[in-house]
Amino acid sequence: MKVGLIKRLAMGAFVGCFMVMLVMILISYQIGPNELIFSGTDVINAFFGSIVVGWAFSLTGLIYERDDIAFPLQIIFQMGISMTVLFITAIYLKWMPIDMGWEPILTWILIACVFAAITWFGFFIYYYLLARELNNKLNN
């Protein structure tokens, strides 16, 4: 159990850091790499914030090990808690532009939901194919 938890935490931290760095690179390309400067505080906050958010998504994924809960409810549980942690972290670290009106906030939320959905779907496909491969090996 401890090894599985450590692997889950490591994967969450890795994916969280990857996603935040990807977003920072996309922002840099949109604004222009020469026009945008991330301070040391921004990078440190992005690093630790992304780990916290990655852990939230990773640890709430434990819900999928419960067979007594319907799959759609598992998805709602994981995404609900994880996105709440993301939004709290985003507000605390000032990732979300809460002082610029509701349009940028809505855009930020939509982009965050799209990134979360794409990442979730990628992991779903990966584990689906892995399970199918294992089942094929068992049947042969």
Written as six digits, the tokens of 127 are 């584990």
- What percent of the chain shows pLDDT beyond 70? 99
The total number of structural domains that make up the chain: 1
Question: pLDDT at residue 74 above 80?
Answer: yes
pLDDT band at 22; cut points 50, 70, 90:
confident
What is the pLDDT averaged over residues 8-37? 83
Confidence at residue 1, expressed as pLDDT on a 0 to 100 scale: 63
The amino acid at 56:
A
Which residue range forms the structural domain that includes residue 122? 2-139
Phi then psi dihedrals of residue 81, to 5 deg: -70, -45
- Cα maximum dimension of the chain: 60
In tens, the pLDDT along 55-65 reads: 998 888 888 88
Which residue in the block uniquely carries the two structure tokens 């419960």? 66
